[in-house]
Each structure stands twice: as C-alpha cells, then as structure tokens.
Amino acid sequence: MSHRSYLFPISILLLGLSLLLNLSLGSVWIPFGEILSGLISGDWAKTSWEQIILNYRLPKALVAIFAGIGLSLSGLQMQTFFRNPLAGPFVLGISSGAGLGVAILMLAGSALGFALSGINSWAIATAGILGAGLVLSGVSLVAWRVKDSMTLLIVGLMFGSAVSAVVSILSFFSGAEALKLYTVWSMGSLGALGWTQVSILGILIAIGSLPVFLSIKSYNALLLGENYARSMGIRTGQMRWVMILSTGILAGGITAFCGPIAFLGIAVPHLARMVWKSSDHRILFPGSALMGAILLLLCDAVGQLPGLASTLPINAVTSLVGAPLVISLILKRNFSKDF
C-alpha cells in the first residue's frame, strides 16, 4: 500500500498541467499565466480569451476529465469482475449498446417517417444509458451461465456486431439529416456540450463512481475470482448488479453525450497497474481515474494543435494513441502475468 503512493501528488500535478495545456491549445494559443490569472481573478487580458475559455475550452476540458474518469473506472471494474485483461466498455458491447439507444432516438423517428421532437441532452443521455444497460444485462445473463471468459468476449463481440447491424438498418432507412447527426455523434466529440450538459455528465459520473468506491473491498476480493470472493463473505450476485449499474451509467452516459471513445477503458487500467505496480483497488481506482483524465485531456490537446483549423474527432485520436499502446503492452510483457 505504501509503495509508490508518492505517485499520486505527481499525477495530480500532471493533471493540472494537462488541464492548462488543454486550455491553452486551440485555434488561438493562450498563455498558461493568462489562463491562471483569468480563472483566479476573473480579469482577462482580452475579452475574446474569456469567451473562448469560459464558454468553450473549460466545459470541453471538464468533459474530457469526466469521460476519462468514467471510462477508466468502468474498464477497471469489468476487467476485475470478468477476470479478463481485455474486458472494457467497448469489447463487451456496452458502448455499442449506448450507440443503439442514441441511434434509435435519432434515426428511428426519421426511419419510421415521423419526426421526434425534443431531442435534448437528457433524452440522449437516457437513451444511451438504457441502450448500454440493455446490452450489458444481455452480456451478464450470458456471463452468468458460462464461466469461461473467452466465451464471454465472443458473446460481447457478437452483441456488438448485432447491435451495429441494427444501427445499419436504421441508418439505411433514415433521412439524410438524421443520419448526419448520428454520424457526427459516432465520431465522438468532447466539445459540443454547454454548461448544462456538462453538469449533467458530472452528476452522472458522480452517481456512477459512488458504488465503485463503496465496493473497493469487494473488488479486491474478486481479484481471486467469484468463488473465493464468495468464500470471504462477499455477496457476488449483488456485486454483479453493482458493476452492471455503475458501468452502464458511466460508459452509457459518456457515450451518450460524447459519442464512442475507444481504447481508454481497456488501456488505462493496464497503465495504472504498470505505473503503480499494484492490483489493490484502493490504489487502482483513484490511479486509473487520474490517469484516464490526464490521457483524455492530452488526446484532446493533440486533436487541437495550433495550425489546424478544426479539431480531430476524439474517437480517432484515442484509437490512434490507444491501439499502439495496447499492442505494445501485449508485446512487452505477459499480459495476464501482471494482471
């Protein structure tokens, strides 16, 4: 427990730096000092800077932090629960489930020939969470019956492809405008949210993270598998629902608001294990949360480099960063050995 706890202040410092970097980069470069003094005192050197920071970059950075925390926490929970290093919101179809919910909301009206009015942020979030919960319940029902994690992965992938097939059918029949709306959503974006949506997302992340931190002990017991956990007095049936509910709210909510964000959920828990050299969830949960926030802030910053007029879709950036990362993790060391 005591070893490597000095890494927490360092990562908090890194989080602050990444936040500043994220805020300063964009079509206009704003110096660190100006951002700090502006945020603290409320006096900005230029009113345009105030506009840019307060109305655009700060909400986006907060969304990056929230999404980074939420995706990493749901990935870590699933990896521990399923005892599978490749588990994560994407692989087990939760994100595609959220996508299905949103697709039904955005496309079904158009496909069935009537317009759904009032697609607001609440409706999108609800649809995403419901879709994620639906797919995750399906996967867990299967997980209940089969104990083999390989089977579970295949089932998750199958659920994912079935869901994308449904989305394809919906897209095929829907109108151009609705389709564009959905396509843009599916590329992922941290920036399209106003302060209301940001606070909704913040509340969702808080609600979804609460059961995680309340179940730290149970997750530590689950490191030895469900049977051992049960023998140590952990109610594993109850834990399964805690996990489903928490990852459904976290991954579902984030995907609903920001679109799919790949790889973060799988890669960050592994990074945290490597950096902190621990499997104790008292370290891994806060560690993954910090690391996820830092990584997503940096990925967003990469997509915003000065000189580029528009920003890269965040999903593309995280995939470009995440895929080589996961490959190098697999090549570098025995994945399951450190797990």
Partner 1 sequence: MSPRPHVPILKGKDLQLGYLKNGKRREVLSRLDFELFVGEMTCLLGPNGVGKSTLIKAILGQIQPWEGSLMLEGKPISSFSPENLARKMAVVLTEPIFPGNMTVRELVALGRIPYTGWMGKLTDEDKNVVEKAIELTKIAYLKDERLSEISDGQRQKAMIARAIAQDADLIILDEPTAHLDLVNRFEIMTLLRDIAIEQKKAVLVVTHDLEIAIETADRFWLLTCGNPLQSGSPEDLILSGEINQLLPSKRIQFSPKRGRMEIRESFEDIFISGPEDWVYWVRKGLSKAGIQAVQDKILVQVDPFRITLGDKTFQKVEELISDLKST
| Interface contacts to partner 1, rule CB under 8 A | 83, 214-217, 220-221, 223-225, 227-228, 230-235, 273, 277-280, 282, 334, 336-339
Residue number with CB closer to partner 1 (37 or 278): 278
Query: CB atoms < 10 A from the CB of 210, how many?
Result: 12
| Shortest distance in whole angstroms from residue 315 CB to partner 1 | 30
First-to-final CA distance of the chain: 17
Residue number with CB closer to partner 1 (22 or 72): 72
Q: Would you report the helix, strand and coil content of the chain in percent, each value rounded to 5?
A: 75, 0, 25
Q: In degrees to the nearest 10, what's the CA dihedral of 227, 230, 236, 237?
A: 90
Strand locations in the chain, DSSP E?
Answer: none
| Shortest distance in whole angstroms from residue 260 CB to partner 1 | 29
| Shortest distance in whole angstroms from residue 216 CB to partner 1 | 6
Residue number with CB closer to partner 1 (217 or 240): 217
Counting other chains too, the contacts that 134-140 makes at CB distance below 8 Å and 24 or more residues apart are 134/97, 134/100, 134/101, 135/93, 135/94, 135/96, 135/97, 135/100, 135/159, 135/163, 136/92, 136/93, 136/94, 136/97, 136/244, 136/247, 136/248, 137/244, 138/93, 139/92, 139/93, 139/94, 140/240, 140/244
Residue number with CB closer to partner 1 (225 or 324): 225
| Shortest distance in whole angstroms from residue 269 CB to partner 1 | 11
Whole-number Å distance between alpha carbons of 292 and 263: 11
DSSP label of 104:
I
Residue number with CB closer to partner 1 (96 or 220): 220
Whole-number Å distance between alpha carbons of 304 and 213: 33
| Shortest distance in whole angstroms from residue 91 CB to partner 1 | 20
Q: Name which of 269, 262, 329, 306 is nearest 78 in CA terms.
A: 269
| Shortest distance in whole angstroms from residue 12 CB to partner 1 | 20
- Which tokens belong to 181? 């709306």
Residue number with CB closer to partner 1 (274 or 308): 274
Residue number with CB closer to partner 1 (161 or 227): 227
Whole-number Å distance between alpha carbons of 143 and 224: 17
Whole-number Å distance between alpha carbons of 175 and 195: 30
| Shortest distance in whole angstroms from residue 210 CB to partner 1 | 12
Residue number with CB closer to partner 1 (214 or 308): 214
| Shortest distance in whole angstroms from residue 108 CB to partner 1 | 39
